Amino acid sequence: MDGPPPLRASDLTVRYGERVAVDRLSFTVRPGEIYGLLGSNGAGKTSTIKSVVGLVRPDGGEVLVFGRDVRRDGLLVKSQVGYVPETSLLYDALTPREFLEFVASVRRLDPAAANERTHSYVAAFRLEAEFEEPILTLSNGTRQKVLLIAALLHQPPLLVLDEPLNSLDPRSVRIMKDLLRRYVAAGDRGILFSTHTMEVAERLCHRVGILDHGVLRGEGTLEALRRKVAAGDATLEEVFLRLTEEGEGVRAAVDSLGASG
Amino acid sequence: MTWRDAARLSDVAFTELSLQAIYAFRQGNVVPPDPAHRLVPRARRRVLESKGIVAFVLGILTFLAAYALRESSLATAVFRVPVPTGVFEAGVLTGLFSLDVAFLWWTGMQVLPTFLASGVMPVLEPLPIDDRTMRRAAALLYLRLFDLPALTVLFATPVLVGFSLGLWAGVAVLPGAAAAVGFALALSLVTGRFFVRRVQGSRGGGGATVVRWTYLVLWLVPAFAMFGLVTAAPDFFAFLGAVSIEGPSPTAHVLLAVFPFTLAVLPALAASGPAGLGLDPAGWLFLGVASAAYCLLAVWAIVWVLASVRQVSMVPPADPRAIPTPRIDVRTQPVLLAVLTKDLRIASRTPGYAFLILLPMLDALAIGLWTFVSAPDSSVAFGLALAAVTTAALLATFFGPAFFAIEVLAFSYGRTLPLSDRSLLAGKVLLVALMYLVASGIVLGITLVRVFDPAIFALFIVAELPAVVAASLLELGILFRRSRARGLPITNLYAGAWYAVLVSIPGVIVAGAPLVAFQAARIDGTPIGVLAMAAVAVAELAFAVPFALGREVS
């Protein structure tokens, strides 16, 4: 494809005071690709994602969504992105229907299309019983479903998902995985997917980037990463631990727990 | 475990409750920039200050009532109604007990949603603590919500009434004061539970929306108790005067059986004897049975409250009624209306915001109704109606910035939507304009019932509208520029409240300028005054629109 990629971050840097959360990070989400951003807690995944959706103002570098700068063309970029945050802090006083009405209105969706998609997603995630309940009363998993529907409602060409499968029941996880694979199969869409669950990333993502203390330690397909650390048939988890040099640390931590673990 | 353990548990829970009440972190509010170790002491101090203010108001009311009791000629002097001393004393104490119940209940309605939503008691449930201690801890926590105000009622009332009417009257007033506290605590718990289930946890749909807004209007009514009492006092004392002249009668017997008059009669009897109270044998019977019943009811209310707090605090915030088949569809709206609808829906489940929206309307209703007290077609009535519109404009404008705090609820998520600053700002201004128009419409409706000229009055309302819009644009425009420049939520009710108040000042000046112009120019006739007002308002709007919605705003 000749057009600009769904997402390109170049030398992205985010600081919180003295602490550098993301350090000159560069990566690209290609058309038709699910790109997994992997890292331990505090590795900089959420800061990276917040920079992509315009919640954090980067201290350096740039983020382009389909060639448009997030800072300069904020509104246009937001209309092309569907975002699921890590924590489901929503308008708790609204019901899912009221929340989705607000989102659909702000996104200026065609009423018929909005309704049709709402019907499909609500049925798929079995959200009917909670559709008129205030979000305040919903479980974390149900809130996550509401966020996923809100992110998919306008069929954005770029999905940015921060730990989207947390709290979901196994059925919804399966639906979501299949849905995401099909979503990018058309070829022109892209997904940035953050997780620290290696099994999910291994099965779902076309390529992954491994973040450690804000720095990209490795990037590519699982095969490419295996080659990089010279581990023939290692799992992504093993590759991850080698790249982040945490393998020894994990063993020491387990040993220190002794029998109490 | 002992009461001491329960007290220790309730103290931990009270600290958490204070923190949530002041900073609302569990509602997604952002952490203020101050050092973290200062947050808890500050939260506890602010909660103490809030309780102190309510206690102070109750103390002042008790003092005023005690002062009035020493001056029984007041009824004749102020209300121009001849009332026997004992009846006057019972009437004053009826008013005092009513206000005690109203203020304590209002306090409860303010804090109960926070208490129940904060989940402080459920957090303790998994700990290995026996049932009795948990129940005690919950009861103590609940009592701490009311401690200063309730103690003020329980101590100040007998002391001050005793000082005015003598020792035995001071003793005899105690059942009434205690019953007022007991009933207020029980009412708070009942309405708090209703709030959690049927307002905060209410499902969508038209019927539920009506229930929510009805509750929220009722929620505000105790705030107008003082106003209502002052308005109703002349009629009430006239009624008491008429009943006392009539002597023992069915009306007098019913009156003796109605709280709080029943328990207000006891200190009056102790101080001034039964003269004028309609106490024939049947009257004594009514008084005795009703007094005993209310005392028992108050005791039962206290026992029920203490036993139920734990259970109520565990109530899940969901409407327990059967779930109807929901309508799985969404209706889209133009963006401005979507912002407005979203805010109204949030407000309908959030008393704090509903308060801001309803206050100008209830204020307009209260002042508008006052016109009925004055003579028809008098200039006083017209002046009052204009005052109602004026306060509606000023109140709507003053509270405008607070509506941005709604955006704090889902600050992060909201900013990822393609909602321009201009649309968001215009949506908020639309809400403020709507509040002004509804409040003014209420006054206009009342004036239509009266005889003075509604046309000029309607013009007055329309002439002020551009100024209300201009004031909102100015305030919200300033807030937007500041918050966007600093990358902060637009307002944070606690951490940044001072700034929201600060920007209200130019807003109130802009809203008030046309009113000043009206007063200055009406010397040459009311139509000239309205014209001058409209000219100033339109000029202000012409300045405010480019400032708030100009090219610099996205």
Residues of A in contact with B318 (CB under 8 A): 133, 137
Among chain B residues, the shortest Cα distance to A72 is held by B554
Q: Which of B325, B330, B334 sits opposite A101 (nearest CB)?
A: B330
B484 touching chain A per CB within 8 A: no
Residues of B in contact with A115 (CB under 8 A): 329-330
Do you know the residue count of chain B? 554
Position B59, amino acid: G
Among A13-22, A150-159, B34-43, the range scoring the smallest mean pLDDT is B34-43
- The three-class DSSP label of residue A68 is strand
| Residue A83 domain-assigned (yes or no) | yes
| Residue A106 domain-assigned (yes or no) | yes
* Interface touch B338/A106, C-beta < 8 Å: yes
CATH number of the structural domain spanning residue A147: 3.40.50.300
Contact B202, B319 (CB under 8 A): yes
Q: Backbone phi, then psi, for A28, in 5-degree steps?
A: -135, 135
Closest CA to A10 of A72, A52, A53: A52
- Mean pLDDT of the A106-123 span: 92
Of residues A225 and B465, more confidence is placed in: B465
Per-residue confidence (pLDDT) for residue B494, from 0 to 100? 41
**Count of pairs with CB atoms under 8 A, one residue in A, one in B:** 135
Among A70-74, B168-172, B504-508, the range scoring the smallest mean pLDDT is B504-508
Q: Which of B203, B350, B419 sits opposite A106 (nearest CB)?
A: B419
Of residues B238 and B259, more confidence is placed in: B259
* Interface touch A91/B346, C-beta < 8 Å: yes
Closest CA to B400 of B476, B320, B326: B476
- A131/A148 Cα distance (integer angstroms): 14
The nearest CA of chain A is from the CA of B276 a distance in Å of: 54
For the CA atoms of B290, B291, B294, B299, the dihedral, rounded to the nearest 10 degrees, stands at -140
* Interface touch A101/B332, C-beta < 8 Å: yes
Q: What is the largest CA-CA distance in chain B?
A: 82
The most confident of the ranges A26-40, A215-229, B428-442 is: A26-40
Contact A5, A31 (CB under 8 A): yes
Per-residue confidence (pLDDT) for residue A258, from 0 to 100? 65
Of residues B452 and B17, more confidence is placed in: B17
- The three-class DSSP label of residue B480 is helix
* Interface touch B410/A91, C-beta < 8 Å: yes
* Interface touch B417/A75, C-beta < 8 Å: no
Helix, strand and coil content of chain A, in percent to the nearest 5, comes to 45, 25, 35
ipTM rounded to 2 decimals: 0.86
CA separation, residue B515 to residues B38, B429, B511, B520, B548 (Å): 44, 20, 8, 9, 23
Q: Backbone phi, then psi, for B310, in 5-degree steps?
A: -60, -45
B420 touching chain A per CB within 8 A: yes
Among A158-162, B78-82, B226-230, B511-515, the range scoring the smallest mean pLDDT is B78-82
Q: Backbone phi, then psi, for B409, in 5-degree steps?
A: -55, -40
Q: Which of A89, A128, A137 sits opposite B328 (nearest CB)?
A: A128
Closest CA to B429 of B494, B343, B530: B343
Q: Which of A109, A110, A136 sits opposite B317 (nearest CB)?
A: A136
- B76/B95 Cα distance (integer angstroms): 17
pLDDT band at A81 (very low <50, low <70, confident <90, very high): very high
Give percent of chain B with pLDDT exceeding 90.
22
| Residue A191 domain-assigned (yes or no) | yes
Q: Backbone phi, then psi, for B127, in 5-degree steps?
A: -75, 150
- B269/A53 Cα distance (integer angstroms): 73
Checking if the pLDDT of B324 tops 50, the result is yes
Residues of B in contact with A156 (CB under 8 A): none
Per-residue confidence (pLDDT) for residue B542, from 0 to 100? 92
The nearest CA of chain A is from the CA of B128 a distance in Å of: 22
Its sign, for the CA torsion B501, B547, B357, B364, is: positive
Helix axes B206-220, B335-348, angle to 10 degrees: 60
| Residue A249 domain-assigned (yes or no) | no
Among chain A residues, the shortest Cα distance to B318 is held by A137
* Interface touch A106/B345, C-beta < 8 Å: no
Give percent of chain A with pLDDT exceeding 70.
92
* Interface touch A131/B330, C-beta < 8 Å: no
Checking if the pLDDT of B49 tops 70, the result is yes
Q: How many domains does chain A have?
A: 1
B25 touching chain A per CB within 8 A: no
Cis previous bond, B489, omega within 30: no
Checking if the pLDDT of A75 tops 80, the result is yes
Checking if the pLDDT of A123 tops 80, the result is yes
Do you know the residue count of chain A? 261
Among A98-112, B107-121, B518-532, the range scoring the smallest mean pLDDT is B107-121
B41 touching chain A per CB within 8 A: no
Q: Which of B201, B331, B487 sits opposite A136 (nearest CB)?
A: B201
Residues 178-237 of chain B with CB under 8 A from chain A are 200-205
Among chain B residues, the shortest Cα distance to A93 is held by B346
Per-residue confidence (pLDDT) for residue B93, from 0 to 100? 94
Vertex A26 angle, CA A23 and A30, to 5°: 150
Among A163-172, B199-208, B524-533, the range scoring the smallest mean pLDDT is B199-208
B419 touching chain A per CB within 8 A: yes
CA separation, residue B532 to residues A233, B66, B259 (Å): 85, 49, 53
Per-residue confidence (pLDDT) for residue B105, from 0 to 100? 87
Task: Output DSSP code: residue B30.
Answer: P
Among B285-299, B365-379, B423-437, B517-531, the range scoring the smallest mean pLDDT is B365-379
| B483-525 residue pLDDT tens | 666 655 554 444 445 566 677 788 888 888 888 888 888 777 7
The two three-digit tokens of residue A87, written as one number: 């924590």
Checking if the pLDDT of B415 tops 70, the result is yes
Q: Are strands A19-29 and A68-69 parallel, antiparallel or unpaired?
A: unpaired
Per-residue confidence (pLDDT) for residue B501, from 0 to 100? 65
| Residue A228 domain-assigned (yes or no) | no
Among chain A residues, the shortest Cα distance to B347 is held by A93
- B116/B477 Cα distance (integer angstroms): 36
Position B308, amino acid: S
Domain span at A84: 7-220
- Mean pLDDT of the B185-214 span: 81
Among B238-247, B318-327, B511-520, the range scoring the smallest mean pLDDT is B318-327
Checking if the pLDDT of B158 tops 90, the result is yes
Of residues B298 and B420, more confidence is placed in: B298
pLDDT band at A80 (very low <50, low <70, confident <90, very high): very high
* Interface touch A106/B409, C-beta < 8 Å: no
The nearest CA of chain A is from the CA of B265 a distance in Å of: 46
Order the strands of the A7-16 sheet from edge to edge: A19-29, A7-16, A60-65, A68-69
Per-residue confidence (pLDDT) for residue A72, from 0 to 100? 86
Contact B469, B545 (CB under 8 A): no
* Interface touch B323/A129, C-beta < 8 Å: yes
- Mean pLDDT of the B518-545 span: 86
Position B166, amino acid: G
Checking if the pLDDT of A117 tops 90, the result is yes
Residues of B in contact with A85 (CB under 8 A): 412-413, 416
- Mean pLDDT of the B461-476 span: 87
pLDDT mean across residues, chain A = 86
pLDDT mean across residues, chain B = 81
Residues of A in contact with B337 (CB under 8 A): 105
* Interface touch B416/A114, C-beta < 8 Å: no
| B249-296 residue pLDDT tens | 888 888 888 999 999 999 999 988 877 676 788 888 989 999 999 999
Closest CA to B174 of B153, B151, B158: B158
- The three-class DSSP label of residue A244 is coil
Among chain B residues, the shortest Cα distance to A133 is held by B203
Residues of A in contact with B204 (CB under 8 A): 95, 97-98, 132
Q: Backbone phi, then psi, for A188, in 5-degree steps?
A: -100, -5
Vertex B433 angle, CA B432 and B434, to 5°: 90
The most confident of the ranges A52-66, B158-172, B216-230, B445-459 is: B158-172
| A140-194 residue pLDDT tens | 889 999 999 999 999 999 999 988 888 888 898 889 889 999 999 878 899 999 9
Among chain B residues, the shortest Cα distance to A106 is held by B335
Task: Output DSSP code: residue A230.
Answer: T
CA separation, residue A29 to residues A7, A43, A67, A157, A214 (Å): 5, 19, 12, 12, 18
The two three-digit tokens of residue A190, written as one number: 């892209």
B337 touching chain A per CB within 8 A: yes
Per-residue confidence (pLDDT) for residue B520, from 0 to 100? 85
* Interface touch A85/B409, C-beta < 8 Å: no
pLDDT band at B371 (very low <50, low <70, confident <90, very high): low
- Residue with structure tokens 């003796």? B256
Vertex B318 angle, CA B313 and B320, to 5°: 100
* Interface touch A104/B487, C-beta < 8 Å: no
Per-residue confidence (pLDDT) for residue B174, from 0 to 100? 96
Q: What is the largest CA-CA distance in chain A?
A: 60
* Interface touch B205/A132, C-beta < 8 Å: yes
pLDDT band at B316 (very low <50, low <70, confident <90, very high): low
B315 touching chain A per CB within 8 A: no
| Residue A138 domain-assigned (yes or no) | yes
- The three-class DSSP label of residue B550 is coil
- B165/B271 Cα distance (integer angstroms): 6
Of residues B197 and B401, more confidence is placed in: B197
Per-residue confidence (pLDDT) for residue B495, from 0 to 100? 43
- A113/A101 Cα distance (integer angstroms): 12
Judging by beta carbons within 10 Å of its beta carbon (0-12, 13-18, 19+), is residue A233 exposed, middle or buried? Answer: exposed
Residues of A in contact with B409 (CB under 8 A): 89, 91-93
B329 touching chain A per CB within 8 A: yes
Residues of B in contact with A129 (CB under 8 A): 323, 326
Residues of B in contact with A131 (CB under 8 A): 326, 328
* Interface touch A115/B338, C-beta < 8 Å: no
Q: Which of A110, A115, A132 sits opposite B204 (nearest CB)?
A: A132
